[in-house]
Structure 1
Amino acid sequence: MSGDITHRKLNETYTFNTPPADAPIEVLNEFYWTKDLEPHVKRRKLILAKYPEVRKLTGYETKTKWYVMGVVALQVAVAYYLRNVHPFTFKFIALAYVIGATANQAIFLAIHELSHNLLFKKPIHNKLFAIFTNIPIGIPYSASFQPYHQLHHKFMGDENLDTDLPTKFEGIILSNLLGKVFFACCQIFFYALRPMFITQIRFTYIHLLNIIFQVFIDIILVKNFGWYSFFYFVMSSFLAGSLHPCAGHFIAEHYVLNENNKPRQSNDKDGNISPDLLPPETYSYYGSLNLVTWNVGYHNEHHDFPYIAWTKLPELRKIAAEFYDPLPQVNSWCGVIWWFIFNDINTLWNRVKRTGKEKHGHKIDNLDQNQN
């Protein structure tokens, strides 16, 4: 048992038997395929039925924008400070890792909040502010993130629409020690590039504006501060999605790890695991790193109520404690990265997937229309 993930039911603690690392290939090398619906809609209905006051928690958080502007200003200030420092020096790399990666992880997750329209009342204001928030990332990102992330929420586990899921190719190539080290070091590339190979979204004027504004800012930055300042932005973005404590949330949120693993019964893509063996597919973390990541660790709570802002998620958990206390919890994002890499049972196959055949088609168009 790793100590990183526990499954608690009130005052009772228990674990699951997991298949050994030398189990047959058809048991280990396949995703958790299920015909069951994702659990968040059902739990949301149950919570609202028992605690209707939870509805009052929904809505945008007005003070978030001031914090975001502070983080953007911090990154610009550090970029200016490093304008004459070579990128491959200890000072540059240390500041990019300690300050830059932490700040840019907060930037990524601020864009996540904006994708749910949780900073302003009007969706267009959230989209435009996300383009501003994108500045320290160095490359256009915010406009593409929103529609892909909405697909992740609406079609969680869908092999064609949820681009948060690793592909079969990734599972085959990267489910070994070196592959997992590479994946953990370069997570940012997988999250940025994978969606383009899985499903396509409509290119809108918001995407164009995001590109034009970011390129304009980058040109201004290079002309006034120099290339080293631009490299600081890019390096900060890379390190934010690499071996950084805050990057642990990428793996911790939905991978089925360690004692929460359960044996796959067959290699039947339409459902290789029975409902009683289906593992939880969303995990929460309640540690101190939530302070710099907009409470993204409250991930079960977020998926249950995606329109509750980060400041209200702890209150949601407090109100509906009996719904959340029994769920598996991640105790350490650093520990998650470690155990994901070095425990043989933890691989890229450890995700719950659905074929979602009945969901394909027109709903993507509806989603695009709702985002404009």
Structure 2
Amino acid sequence: MAEVLHKRNNITYTFDTPAADSPIETLNEFYWTNESEPHVSRRKAILAKHPEVKKLTGHEPKTKWYVLFVVILQFSVAYYLKDTFPLSAKFIALAYVIGATSNQAIFLAIHELSHNLLFKKPLHNKLFAIFTNIPIGIPYSASFQPYHQLHHKFLGDENLDTDLPTRFEGIFLSNILGKVFFATFQILFYALRPMFITQIKFTYIHILNVIFQFFVDYLVVKYWGSNSLWYFIMSSFLAGSLHPCAGHFIAEHYVLNANNKPRSELKSKEEGNISNDLLPEETYSYYGSLNLLTWNVGYHNEHHDFPYIAWTKLPQLREMASEFYDPLPKVDSWCGVIWWFCFNDINRLWNRVKRSGKIKSGTNVKVRLDTN
């Protein structure tokens, strides 16, 4: 048993984290709570104290030029490798160092676009996202936006937040081999899981995304050969695998290490299985140098508090409201997060805060997603 100190609301709690061999009913369960997600209340508190924060909201026009550079870089490397065997050392090395880093930046540029933070008009953001999608190799951008908006609006909801692992994942992957498998193939979990959780409406933007992506893929294969397309695909896979920048997927919302809390005296999920005093933080920020390659996605508490502040201004938000952000637990290393997640027994796929959705599975639900 490991003694952990946790300070919340100016009260310090001392408690023991459960040992890896604790009873299954103690370890294997999510942090169920009826508490609302913390970002809305913190946003209101920050705005009440710092109304000048409103001036930070809005799109960042210069982002599109950085995105264009990354797309051109990916096409340049794809052309360079057109005659190189995909399983050669040079191909894999370039796909990991340049390709995966670039495609992670592209994934997160699409994330910025999903919040309409590159252009004033939502349609322009959607169309530019389809262009930005090209080096990923498969159509992705059109589906990401509605699922990601659900993640923001219903953080932790068991039916609508598709960022949450399923009970199936928790049961079969909460061991060392399972966690290594999850970390290695996490891009596939994020791509496929939403289809099994929540269905979204197929729109003309999805059709454009599919047609344009496959048309460009066809041109790449026709004029440069299949190796160039394989470079795009391999880059996308490695970007969401055991890559330093991929640590943000786990770091953002998993409750790890000292932030883990005991799940003693489990109750039904309708009542919540953990006291409010011991309910862990469910969003974690990272302020390290990898933010330079990922549009400051590490400022994740700040982003969830104010989704319509562009990446360039998130450090200003943290500085303005430092008294709200400095006390929050944070992540110091994305590489360390991958290691700790995989090889520390107390860290499992169960380590997420969940809310029992008021909207039950099987119900026909219409959810309005923001378009401006």
TM-score (norm 1): 0.95
Say if 1:142 and 1:195 are closer, same or farther in 2 by CA, change over 3 A. Answer: same
Q: Shift in Å at residue 22 of structure 1?
A: 1.1
1:255 aligned partner: 254
Q: Which has the higher contact order (CA 8 A, sep 6+)?
A: 1
Say if 1:332 and 1:279 are closer, same or farther in 2 by CA, change over 3 A. Answer: same
Same amino acid, percent of matched pairs:
77
After TM superposition, the structure 1 stretch with the greater mean CA deviation from structure 2, 205-214 or 263-272, is: 263-272
1:203 aligned partner: 202
Q: Shift in Å at residue 24 of structure 1?
A: 1.1
Residues 121-175 of structure 1: CA deviation (Å, up to 9, x unaligned): 0000000000000000000000000000000000000000000000000000100
Q: Shift in Å at residue 17 of structure 1?
A: 3.0
Say if 1:97 and 1:50 are closer, same or farther in 2 by CA, change over 3 A. Answer: same
In structure 2, give the amino acid aligned to 1:83: K
2:334 aligned partner: 333
In structure 2, give the amino acid aligned to 1:163: T
Contact between 1:258 and 1:345, CA under 8 Å: does it hold in 2? yes
1:119 aligned partner: 118
1:269 aligned partner: 269
User: Counterparts of 1:95 and 1:207 in 2: how far apart (Å)?
Assistant: 31
Contact between 2:81 and 2:227, CA under 8 Å: does it hold in 1? yes
Say if 1:222 and 1:358 are closer, same or farther in 2 by CA, change over 3 A. Answer: closer
2:237 aligned partner: 238
User: Counterparts of 2:12 and 2:239 in 1: how far apart (Å)?
Assistant: 34
Residues 242-300 of structure 1: CA deviation (Å, up to 9, x unaligned): 00000000000000000100011305222101100100000000000000000000000
Contact between 2:71 and 2:132, CA under 8 Å: does it hold in 1? yes
User: Counterparts of 2:13 and 2:93 in 1: how far apart (Å)?
Assistant: 41
User: Counterparts of 1:102 and 1:279 in 2: how far apart (Å)?
Assistant: 31
After TM superposition, the structure 1 stretch with the greater mean CA deviation from structure 2, 283-292 or 261-270, is: 261-270
Residues 310-334 of structure 1: CA deviation (Å, up to 9, x unaligned): 0000000000000000001100000
Q: Shift in Å at residue 11 of structure 1?
A: 12
After TM superposition, the structure 1 stretch with the greater mean CA deviation from structure 2, 334-343 or 9-18, is: 9-18
1:194 aligned partner: 193
Contact between 1:10 and 1:325, CA under 8 Å: does it hold in 2? no
User: Counterparts of 1:97 and 1:38 in 2: how far apart (Å)?
Assistant: 36
User: Counterparts of 2:177 and 2:161 in 1: how far apart (Å)?
Assistant: 26
> Secondary structure, in 3 states, of the residue corresponding to 1:162?
coil
1:47 aligned partner: 46
Residues 173-231 of structure 1: CA deviation (Å, up to 9, x unaligned): 10001100100000000000000000000000000000000000000000111000000
Contact between 2:113 and 2:129, CA under 8 Å: does it hold in 1? yes
1:351 aligned partner: 352
2:89 aligned partner: 90
In structure 2, give the amino acid aligned to 1:364: K
> Which segments of 5 or more consecutive residues in structure 1 lack a partner in the other structure?
none
In structure 2, give the amino acid aligned to 1:341: C
> Secondary structure, in 3 states, of the residue corresponding to 1:156?
coil
Contact between 1:285 and 1:331, CA under 8 Å: does it hold in 2? yes
Q: Give RMSD over aligned pairs.
A: 2.2
1:366 aligned partner: 368
In structure 1, give the amino acid aligned to 2:303: H
Contact between 1:185 and 1:242, CA under 8 Å: does it hold in 2? yes
Q: Shift in Å at residue 18 of structure 1?
A: 1.1
1:163 aligned partner: 162
